[in-house]
Every structure is written in structure tokens, then in C-alpha cells.
């Protein structure tokens, strides 16, 4: 192994432990209350994780929260991007999750059809 | 799919003996049972620090810190936190000072007040996974050294950093490197001193267990700087986990071309071997350690010649402490100016300490040099438990001394501690409260040195034994004021005529307590009392007639049947002539009816 090889390994390895640094740019918060889970929040979470993995987005983490009292719009997902307002998406599905990753997290434009709230 | 949760399971030696492996297994099965195997990753790390609170879990990305976790808690943690995102409040660290539950590790004063440089990877990476070490910039310093620095430049960086040896004496590390580089020899050796024999010290163990590659990397950089091809890591046999993790790390480094022939394909060759010591304290002394590596009995020899001229197999040898080695990669990567920006002018950088004794948070901590004892004890250590008052702080183990409470604002650095008659030592900090007897503490450490003396020189072998018997006389209430003078005289002789540091420093615990707590010595010899009520010969156990409820617990607990009484018919009585002052009755009494009274046993008074 040469120094360049070491550096390549490091690049990959850094991504692998990025969760522990606490400096993620994007936090995808999935509503995992009882009603959220019943409405399919687990599938939505898996879709986010899968898409984030495929796109190798090391600056993005997925966390959960309890129910937020908007049972009619579950599954609910909040997108927290550093220095940007919080965007809340409702009635999420597997496909919608993948679109949010592509358009909002990667390209920076919220998918307005699914947005139910924007908070500062 | 990436993991969304990293669950760090502390697998330092203390947590391992607290059955952290059972917790890990229980978590693993609960994770599988909930179908979360692809989402949650368990990572076993080195020591996180607060050893008494183990087993400890640290969950990222939140940074939630769980303490005293049992296998029975695993299911709740997985279901509530990992699945539903609701951290289990009852298991989170509750900061006793702030009286609040810390949602995140960052909110805990114990962590927040520390500055982790050497221990930056301890408790945050898997020490058995080379990739994780590399992720933190591991082996980058070595790569930089081998490809872009000349050996002399590296020595200059270490000189400029003003790093001082962390093994105790604080000798300038760069100077030692320079001497070893300039010395003539057919071969040169690098040695890592991981003997760590002082009671109350386990800093080096934490680093070896938690980040073994950092030590190997530091040694390899030095090997290049001084032109050595071979190194030894000396570890005591009582550290099996450290040995295992070092072995794994060495194998991984060799397999990846980071150790052995042609390191990082630069043509440079260096390899290390582990040497396991039997655990004698004197084997930590560098010349004894070298003899032990050579397969001889671990006995010190006179210096000069110093190891940098004549060390292992008579060849120039560079020997540094584990923690010293752990600093090297950071200094090479971040520079001497950065290093000097931490700590104090004369003692730059950080220091790792092992906190023990009468302190709320025991364990391993790292702080900048110059941090005061007050910050260390009150803020990081969480103060003295049970509302007791601080009496003194013992640093430097058997070679060190006691700093009385009034000096608690002393900044910790080599010079300040020395001025107070104490010693930085390797980092053991034992906190003593009002219930500790300073004569007893001095006796404890002197007895340790006396037992560990290799016997080569008379002042150390016989002198410490004589001092010990005087101290025994004093704690038995049979001492005289003349004994104090004699202690002083013996101490002076032993200090100036012993061959090695063990003998030279053995009287220090006695001298420092005689200096700062002379009244306690006088009290023992003049009135045969021990106001801390610790010296067995000078206390009596008595039962308070009014408080006794005749529950019979004390009678059952007494190993020598010194207690008499009938259940339900108070009061019970203790027969002084039979009592051996073991204190078991005191410990078991639910009504605080057993009292410790000052004063000799009555029959002693008659005799004496
Ligand atoms: C009795 C005795 C025990 C010692 N034990 C240790 C030890 O356990 N670890 C250590 O690093 N140094 C120990 N030392 C100090 C070593 O002799 C030596 O100074 C040190 O390893 C040098 O490394 P450093 O410059 O990095 O501190 C001991 C010294 C004496 C006199
Ligand atoms: S001072 Fe004590 S331990 Fe050191 S060489 Fe002499 S007898 Fe041995």
C-alpha cells in the first residue's frame, strides 16, 4: 500500500463512520409514532436509507421522532437541512421518499406537491 | 444500505469485567428480532472513561449515552430507541451536579470539560478495525513523515513541540530522540514502556486497548527519525485485552504494509514485537525493563550510560511511555505550534489521568496541562461523594505525594506538583477525603515500594523496611516524636543513595505527608489517636445502646464472635478484647447503632 492508497481507504472509511461526527448536513426525521408505523413509516425509512446508500450521501442521517399529532397525514417526514427552514412532507411512500432524496437533498429544491408545512 | 445508527459498546477492561459482552449479545439478538440488522451497527470500542458507570453505550447520531446497562435492558432500548426513536430516559446519564438527564454525551460535564487528543479514538472507534483508525487520519502522519520529511525535521518538530515524557519524569522527548539519533551503533531499537505498575494507574492500558495503532504509528515514526529497524512493546501480563488488541493491530498493520518491510512502499522497514512482563513495578524503570527485554532479570543498573547510548543488547535505544507515543502522530500532523497552544508554557499538551478514590466519577480522563486540581476533581470528577470534605490528592503513586486540599487551585504541570512535594508520575490521581488517615496512606505506598524493591541496594531494601516498621509503630499508637526525626533521616539517606528511581522516590509519600500533615503524625505519637478513625489499633467499635434494635445482624456478621446479645432484647455489646476492628458490624448495621470511637483498646492502655 502506498500513501495514495491509504488516502483512498481513508475517504471511504470516513464515510463509514460519519454518523459519529455529529456534523451531518441533512437530517431526515421520520415520524415513528404508532400511527406513523401503522401508515407505513418503516417502509418510508427503508426507502430513504436505501436511496441515501445508493447515492453515497455521507452527509445525510436518518433519525426518528414520536408522533406529531397529524395522524391524517402520516407517514410524516421532516427534512432538516443546515441553515434552511424545516420542510415537512406528508403521506409519504417509498417512491415519494426517493424523489425527495433526488430533488431536495441532492438538488436542493423541495418537492412542493408533498410539502405540508415549512417551519423556521 | 448505510446504517442509520452506530451503537458504540464500551469494551474497555472495566466494562469487560462488568459483562459488557452479555449486553452486546442481548442487543444483537434484540436488533435481529426487530429486523434492524441492516440499520443498526454495533461497534465495540475501547474505554470511554467513566469506568464505574459501565457497561456504557453511546448511540449515534444522537450521541445518547446509556450507563449501567444490563442484558435485560436490551429489548427496551432496541424497541423504544432504535425502532421508535425514543431514548430510554431511565438509562441515560443523569448529571448529579446539573440534576438533569443528559440527552447527549456533549451535555455531560465529565466529557465536556475534557480535551481528548491522545484518547481521541478511545471509545469512539473499534480498536480491532484498521479501517476505523484510518478514517480518523490514522497512519497519515507516518505517510507524511516517510514521504515528505527528513529524519532530522521530525526530530526538530518533536523538539519544538516541547513534548515531555508522560512516563513520570517529564524528560523532553525531542532531546531523547536527538540523543538516540546521534548515538553510534550497529542497530537501534525503539521501546514502548507499558509496564504501568503503580497502584491506581490504568491510563496506558486504556490507550493500548482503545487505540493500539496510535502507539504503533508513533513508534514507527520515531524509528524512521532515529534509524531503528526494530521495536519492542513491553506490556504487563495482567493486561491480556491490551495484549490481544496489540497483536491484532500489529498483524493488520503488517498485512497492509504499514509495518514490516517496505512500509507504504517507501523502502523503509520497521517491525515491532510484544514483550510480556511479569508485572514487577521495578520493571517499569527503563534499565530494568531493557534487561527484562533481553531475557535477564529485571533489575536496574547505574546510568549513565543512558539507554539512548546503550540500551537493548547494548545498542542505542529510544524508550518512551505509551502515552508519549500516542502524542506523536498528532504532533507530526498538526505541528509543534498547535501542540504548544495546548497546556502551559513549560508543560504543553494534554495529560491523561486515572481518577480514583473518593470521587464521584472514577475513570480515565484527559485534560490540558495547567488544568487545576479543582477543575479535575469538582467539575470532571463530579466532586466528593456523600457530602464529605476533600482532604488531599495523591498523585504520582508510590513515587509521588499528597497535595493538601488548600492547594486545590494548583494548575497541574510538572513543576507545580514538584514544588508541592508531589510528582506528576504517570497520571494516577487518588482523591482522599476527611475519613482518610494520612499516616495510613503514606504507610500504604511505602509498603508497596518496600515490597517491590528489587533488593539490589541496601538503602532501598533495608531502609524502606525500617521506615515501614516505624510507621507501623506510629499507627499502632506506640510511636514517639523521635520516630518522626528518624523517618526524616532515613528518607534523606534512601533518597540520596538508592540506585534507581524506585528507591530514590520511595520516601516521597512519607515526606510529603509529614510536610503537609505533620499534626496528624504528632496526634498519632502524642495522644495515640487517629482522628480519621482509620488506624485499627487506635479505634474501638461500640454499640449505641439507645440506637440498637437488637436485629442480630452485627452478631451474625462478626467473624470472631465478639458481639453478644439476644435478638429482640437490646442492647447488644461488643467485647473489646475479642474485636479485631474489621468494621463488618459497622457496615451491616441498618440503624447506625455501631459507632467508631477514638482511642486504644482498653487492655492496650493497661499494658502501655
Ligand atoms: C520504579 C520505576 C517505575 C517506572 N515505571 C514506569 C512505567 O510503568 N511506565 C513508564 O512509562 N515509565 C516508567 N518509569 C519511567 C521510566 O524509567 C522511563 O523514564 C520512561 O519510560 C521514559 O519514557 P518517557 O520519557 O516517555 O516518559 C518508571 C521509573 C521507575 C524508577
Ligand atoms: S533503588 Fe531499590 S529498586 Fe532500585 S535498584 Fe536499588 S534496590 Fe533495586
Residues of B in contact with A82 (CB under 8 A): none
Nearest chain B Cα distance for residue A118, angstroms: 22
- Taking CA atoms, B339 is separated from B84, B159, B350, in Å, by 44, 11, 9
Residue B195 sits in the same domain as residue B172: yes
For residue B343, is it within any domain? no
Confidence of residue B601 (pLDDT cuts 50, 70, 90): low
Mean pLDDT, residues B181-192 taken together: 97
B497, B527, B557: which is the final residue of a domain? B527
Distance from CA of A19 to the nearest CA of B (A): 5
In testing the pocket of ligand 1, which one of B215, B286, B302 has its CB within 8 Å of the most ligand atoms?
B286
End-to-end CA gap in chain A:
49
Give B-chain residues touching A11 at CB under 8 angstroms.
Answer: none
SS3 B57: strand
**3-state secondary structure at position A5:** helix
pLDDT of residue B608: 35
In SS3 terms, B416-479 reads as HHHHCCCCCCCCEEEEEECCCCHHHHHHHHHHHHHHHCCCCCHHHHHHHHHHHHHHHHHHCCCC
Answer whether B317's CB lies under 8 Å from B392's CB: no
Please tell me whether residues B396 and B444 are part of one structural domain. Answer: no
Residues B358 and B502 in one domain: no
Instruction: State whether B416 and B502 are in the same domain.
Output: no
Residues B293 and B185 in one domain: yes
Around Cβ B129, how many Cβ atoms within 10 Å? 20
DSSP annotation of B267 reads T
Q: Give the mean model confidence (pLDDT) for residues B81-94.
A: 89
**Chain A positions with Cβ closer than 8 Å to B:** 1-3, 6-7, 9-10, 12-14, 16-17, 19-20, 22, 24, 27, 30, 32-33, 37, 45-46, 49-50, 52-53, 61-66
Least confident of B459-463, B504-508, B592-596, B603-607: B603-607
pLDDT-derived band at B109 (thresholds 50, 70, 90) equals: confident
Residue B121 covered by a domain: no
The answer on B140 and B239 residing in a single domain is: yes
pLDDT of residue A46: 92
Our answer on whether the CB atom of B453 is closer than 6 Å to any ligand 2 atom is yes
CB B545 within 8 A of CB B587: no
Asked if residue B228 is part of any domain, the answer here is: yes
Per DSSP, the three-state class of A48 is helix
The verdict on residue B345 lying in a domain is: no
The burial class, CB within 10 Å (0-12 / 13-18 / 19+), for B547 is middle
Per this entry, what is the length of chain B?
A: 608
Per-residue pLDDT of B563-577, as tens digits, reads 999 999 999 999 999
Residue ranges making up the domain that contains B379: 350-433
Question: Region B115-127: what's the mean pLDDT?
Answer: 96
| Mean pLDDT (chain B, rounded) | 94
Are B347 and B415 spatial neighbours (Cβ–Cβ below 8 Å)?
yes
Q: What is the arithmetic mean of pLDDT over A21-42?
A: 88
Residues B533-587: tens digit of each pLDDT: 999 999 999 999 999 999 999 999 999 999 999 999 999 999 999 999 999 999 9
C-alpha B581/C-alpha B571 separation (Å) is 19
Ligand 2 neighbour B412 (Cβ under 6 A): no
List, as one string, the DSSP characters of B547-608: T----SHHHHH-TT--EEEETTEEEEEE-TTT-----HHHHH-TT--EEEEES--HHHHHH-
Phi first, then psi: give them for residue B504, nearest 5 degrees. Answer: -60, -35
Categorize the per-residue pLDDT at A67 as very low, low, confident or very high, splitting at 50, 70 and 90: low
pLDDT at A69 over 80: no
> Cα–Cα distance between B583 and A100 in angstroms, integer?
68
All structural domains of chain A, each given as residue ranges with its CATH number in brackets, are 3-119 (3.40.30.10)
Atom of ligand 2 nearest to the CA of B453: 3
Domain for residue B157, yes or no? yes
pLDDT band at B606 (very low <50, low <70, confident <90, very high): very low
Give the pLDDT score at B416: 92
- pLDDT value at position A119? 86
- B380 and B409 both lie in a single domain: yes
Same domain, B45 and B145: no
pLDDT digits (tens, 9 = 90+) for B135-179: 999 999 999 999 999 999 999 999 999 999 999 889 999 999 999
Q: Kindly state the average pLDDT of the residues A43-67.
A: 89
Are residues B489 and B403 part of one domain?
A: no
Q: Let me know if residue B237 belongs to a domain.
A: yes
How does residue B98 score in pLDDT terms, banded at 50, 70 and 90?
low
Q: pLDDT for B240-268, tens place per residue? A: 999 999 999 999 999 999 999 999 999 99
Percent of chain B whose predicted confidence (pLDDT) is above 90: 89
Q: Cell 495523591 identifies what position?
A: B394
Task: Compute the distance between CA of residue B136 and CA of residue B123 in angstroms, rounded to an integer.
Answer: 13
Of B417, B87, B36, the closest CA to residue A42 belongs to B36
Examine the domain organization and report whether B168 and B28 are in the same domain.
Answer: no
Q: Which of residues 210-229 of B touch A (CB under 8 A)?
A: none
The span from the CA of B560 to the CA of B579, in Å, is 7
**Number of domains comprising chain B:** 5
In this predicted model, which residue has the larger pLDDT, A64 or A4?
Answer: A4
Q: Please report residues of B whose CB lies closer than 8 A to that of A50.
A: 1
In a domain, B166, yes or no: yes
Q: Is residue B95 part of a domain?
A: yes
Question: B503, B527, B551: which is the final residue of a domain?
Answer: B527
Residue B473 maps to which CATH number? 1.20.1440.230
Which contiguous run of DSSP H or E holds residue B491?
helix B481-497
Contact between B346 and B419 (Cβ < 8 Å): no
Together in a domain, B297 and B208? yes
The percent of residues above 70 in pLDDT, for chain B, comes to: 97
Dump pLDDT digits (tens) for B291-330.
Answer: 999 999 999 999 999 999 999 999 999 999 999 999 999 9
Inter-residue contact B27 to B7 (CB < 8 Å):
yes
Same domain, B429 and B444: no
Residue B246 near residue B282, CB atoms below 8 Å: no
Phi and psi, residue B194, nearest 5° = -120, 35
Which one-letter DSSP state was computed for residue A96? H
For residue B9, count other CB atoms closer than 10 A to its CB: 24
- Distance between Cα B279 and ligand 2 center (Å): 16
Residue B95: CATH number of its domain = 3.40.30.10
pLDDT exceeds cutoff 60 at A14: yes
**Residue B216 belongs to a domain with what CATH number?**
3.40.50.11540
Supply the CATH number for residue B575's domain.
3.30.70.20
Q: Which of B284, B313, B338 is the last residue of a domain?
A: B338
Instruction: Give the three-class secondary structure for A91.
Output: coil
Can you tell me whether residue B402 is helix, strand or coil? strand
pTM of the model: 0.92
Max CA pair span of chain B: 86
- pLDDT single digits (tens) B22-46: 999 999 999 999 999 999 999 999 9
Amino acid at each position: 500500500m502506498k500513501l495514495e492508497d491509504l488516502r483512498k481507504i481513508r475517504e471511504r472509511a470516513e464515510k463509514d463512520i460519519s454518523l459519529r461526527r455529529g456534523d451531518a448536513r441533512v437530517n431526515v426525521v421520520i415520524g415513528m409514532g404508532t400511527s406513523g408505523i401503522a401508515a407505513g413509516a418503516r417502509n418510508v425509512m427503508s426507502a430513504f436509507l436505501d436511496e441515501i446508500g445508493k447515492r453515497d450521501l455521507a452527509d445525510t442521517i436518518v433519525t426518528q421522532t414520536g408522533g406529531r399529532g397529524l395522524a391524517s397525514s402520516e407517514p410524516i417526514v421532516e427534512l432538516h437541512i443546515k441553515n434552511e427552514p424545516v420542510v415537512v412532507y406528508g403521506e409519504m411512500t417509498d417512491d415519494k421518499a426517493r424523489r425527495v432524496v433526488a430533488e431536495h437533498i441532492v438538488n436542493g429544491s423541495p418537492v412542493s406537491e408533498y410539502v405540508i408545512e415549512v417551519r423556521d | 444500505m448505510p446504517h442509520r445508527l452506530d451503537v458504540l459498546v464500551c469494551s474497555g477492561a472495566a466494562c469487560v469485567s462488568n459483562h459488557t459482552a452479555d449486553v452486546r449479545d442481548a442487543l444483537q439478538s434484540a436488533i435481529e428480532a426487530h429486523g434492524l440488522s441492516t440499520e443498526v451497527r454495533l461497534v465495540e470500542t475501547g474505554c470511554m472513561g467513566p469506568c464505574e458507570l459501565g457497561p456504557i453505550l453511546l448511540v449515534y447520531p444522537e450521541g445518547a449515552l446509556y450507563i449501567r446497562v444490563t442484558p435485560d435492558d436490551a429489548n427496551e432500548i432496541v424497541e423504544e430507541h432504535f425502532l421508535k426513536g425514543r431514548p430510554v430516559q431511565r438509562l441515560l446519564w443523569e448529571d448529579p451536579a446539573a440534576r438533569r438527564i443528559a440527552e447527549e454525551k456533549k451535555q455531560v460535564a465529565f466529557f465536556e470539560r475534557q480535551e481528548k487528543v491522545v484518547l481521541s479514538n478511545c471509545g469512539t472507534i473499534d480498536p480491532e478495525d484498521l479501517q476505523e483508525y484510518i478514517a480518523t487520519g490514522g497512519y497519515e502522519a507516518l505517510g507524511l513523515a516517510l514521504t515528505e520529511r527528513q529524519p532530522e525535521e521530525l526530530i526538530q518538530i518533536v523538539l519544538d513541540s516541547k513534548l515531555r515524557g508522560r512516563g513520570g519524569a517529564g524528560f523532553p522527548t525531542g532531546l531523547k530522540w536527538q540523543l538516540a539519533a546521534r548515538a553510534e551503533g550497529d542497530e537501534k531499537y525503539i521501546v514502548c514502556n507499558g509496564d504501568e505498575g503503580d497502584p491506581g494507574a490504568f491510563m496506558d492500558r486504556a490507550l493500548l486497548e482503545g487505540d493500539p495503532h496510535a502507539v504503533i504509528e508513533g513508534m514507527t515514526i520515531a524509528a524512521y527519525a532515529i534509524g531503528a529497524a526494530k521495536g519492542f512493546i513491553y506490556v504487563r501480563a495482567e493486561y491480556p485485552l491490551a495484549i490481544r488488541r496489540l497483536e491484532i493491530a500489529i498483524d493488520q498493520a503488517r498485512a497492509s504494509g504499514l509495518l514490516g518491510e517496505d512500509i507504504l512502499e517507501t523502502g523503509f522497514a520497521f517491525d515491532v514485537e510484544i514483550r510480556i512482563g511479569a508485572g514487577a513495578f521495578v520493571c517499569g524503570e527503563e534499565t530494568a525493563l531493557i534487561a527484562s527485554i533481553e531475557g535477564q532479570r529485571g533489575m536496574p543498573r547505574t546510568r549513565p550510560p543512558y539507554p539512548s547510548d546503550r540500551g537493548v543488547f547494548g545498542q542505542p535505544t529510544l524508550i518512551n511511555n505509551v502515552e508519549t507515543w500516542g502524542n506523536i502522530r498528532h504532533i507530526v500532523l498538526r505541528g509543534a505550534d498547535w501542540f504548544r497552544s495546548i497546556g502551559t508554557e513549560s508543560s504543553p499538551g494534554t495529560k491523561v489521568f486515572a481518577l480514583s478514590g473518593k470521587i464521584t466519577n472514577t475513570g480515565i480522563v484527559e485534560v490540558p496541562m495547567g488544568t487545576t486540581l479543582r477543575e479535575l476533581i469538582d467539575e470532571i470528577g463530579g466532586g466528593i461523594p456523600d457530602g464529605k470534605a476533600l482532604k488531599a490528592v495523591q498523585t504520582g503513586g508510590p513515587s509521588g505525594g499528597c497535595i493538601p486540599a488548600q492547594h486545590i487551585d494548583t494548575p497541574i504541570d510538572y513543576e507545580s506538583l514538584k514544588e508541592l512535594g508531589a510528582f506528576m508520575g504517570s497520571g494516577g490521581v487518588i482523591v482522599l477525603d476527611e475519613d482518610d488517615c494520612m499516616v495510613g496512606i503514606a504507610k500504604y505506598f511505602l509498603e508497596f515500594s518496600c515490597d517491590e524493591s528489587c533488593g539490589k541496594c541496601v538503602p532501598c531494601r533495608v531502609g524502606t523496611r525500617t521506615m515501614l516498621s516505624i510507621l507501623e509503630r506510629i499507627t499502632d499508637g506506640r510511636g514517639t516524636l523521635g520516630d518522626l526525626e528518624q523517618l526524616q533521616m532515613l528518607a534523606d539517606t534512601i533518597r540520596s543513595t538508592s540506585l534507581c528511581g524506585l528507591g530514590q522516590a520511595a520516601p516521597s509519600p512519607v515526606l510529603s505527608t509529614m510536610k503537609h500533615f505533620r499534626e496528624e503524625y504528632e496526634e498519632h505519637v502524642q495522644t495515640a489517636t487517629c482522628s480519621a478513625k482509620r488506624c485499627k489499633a487506635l479505634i474501638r467499635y461500640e454499640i449505641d445502646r439507645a440506637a440498637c434494635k437488637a436485629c442480630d445482624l452485627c452478631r451474625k456478621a462478626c467473624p470472631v464472635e465478639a458481639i453478644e446479645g439476644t435478638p429482640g432484647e437490646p442492647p447488644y455489646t461488643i467485647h473489646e478484647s475479642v474485636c479485631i476492628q474489621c468494621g463488618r458490624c459497622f457496615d451491616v448495621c441498618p440503624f447506625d447503632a455501631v459507632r467508631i470511637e477514638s482511642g486504644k483498646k482498653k487492655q492496650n492502655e493497661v499494658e502501655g
